[in-house]
Structure 1
Amino acid sequence: MAARRCCLLLGGVRFYNAKPVKRRVREPYRLDPDDPKTPFWQLTDAYRAKLYGRYGAASGIDPTKLWPTPEQLEAMEEEERTWYPSLREMEMSLDAKEAEAAAKKRQREELIAARMAKMPGMIAAWKQEREALKIKMAEEKAQRQRLLAEARERFGHKMNEHSLEFQEMVQEMEKAKKKELREQRKRRREEALARKALESTDAASSPDKDKEVAVAELSHQDTQTVESFPETGAASKL
């Protein structure tokens, strides 16, 4: 108990010498490519570089063979350029991204400004459409009420607008209206043809009238010339 208490006071100091750690110093591993028991992963350049980095020349690795080939070096440089760009390239990339973001922001602001400028006209057009829709709905309602009144007068009782008789009556009225419109178009066409024929007749007769007028004017001028001859002779005698 006293010894333990003394150990605790001394901070856990042990009063014996521990055995030294046995270190087994082994020879560096030498890679034998010709040995069939050598694993395939030990035949890679990465493992050879690892052995040379650990044991140095004692590993028996020729360091000149650890350098990459021109193709490998080009691939490594390309990978480095892709994944580890230079500071200047990073700055240029950031500048391009900032310029693109600023251009997008400016385009969006211009688009918003253009749409806001069109907003009063769009609101006015929407109000006009709404008023036109209200007028159309009112006209349709009035027409429906008028058709219901006509159906009540025809059949002598109140009808439902979704009934078959009402639908047949509406179809008959539409057919009659279409027929009337066709007759009106036909009359207008006939009137237009008659008007064109009359105009062509007037145009054909107008040259004869012009000729008669010209002949009358010439005869009138000849008469005036003959009448002026005696006066001319008397003046010469005087």
Structure 2
Amino acid sequence: MDAIIFNLAGDVPAVTKAWAAGIIVLSVLTSTTIVDPSNTLYNFDLAFRRGQYVRVLYSFFDYGKLDYWFVFGVVVMLSQLADVEKAVQTRSQFLWMIFLLGGMVIGMSKWIQPYESLAHVVHKNLLYYKIRMDIQSVGNGGARVGVSPLMLRLSMDILQLATVKSMWGILITYLPGQLYFFVEQIVSKIYGVELCKPPNQWFQKSGPQENEDEQPLEE
């Protein structure tokens, strides 16, 4: 099944491909009960107040049970996150971005219980960031699209309220991505500290040439 997914995915950047591989491995482990499926359920109190930290790791790779819907979901994830990773341009920055968004989601989960796994929530925040970047590109003279992806997503989330029954549970899929976008586009530019880049690049001036240690992502 993993071979089918990667053949369908085509040319996928390394970080996205590695994340998808971890998701597939965990799904196989839970489907064969090598890993108890109940241990993949994330809850802040269980993870941090009862010391069940492995729930955090499992939840970052939890995309559901192994079936045809799982295959479809992973293929969609590969396509969507490959676009985000290519837009970010460097692997180290994309990894740092996932780390920051994951940290913000976990921090907010102390008060807001996610209705999905951490993998789903971080995935949706990454997509929200990409949508905001695309909107900014259109505002700066980029190509316009007929239907706003942001409005389409908002409409789908409103429909989900019938089952989720918590506006906060939906907002946690937006707020970290919005905060990241705000810091990157406003705070970092005002104070000259690139907080949304890896720590070793915080005080580096952006120039025409890439840092030699950075590996640009292939298109």
Larger Rg: 1 or 2? 1
Report the TM range for the smaller structure's normalisation: under 0.3
Query: Which fold has the larger relative contact order, with Cα–Cα distance below 8 Å and residues 6 or more apart in sequence?
Result: 2
State the TM-score, normalizing by the size of structure 1. Answer: 0.18
More helix by share: 1
Name the TM-score, length of structure 2 as normaliser.
Answer: 0.19
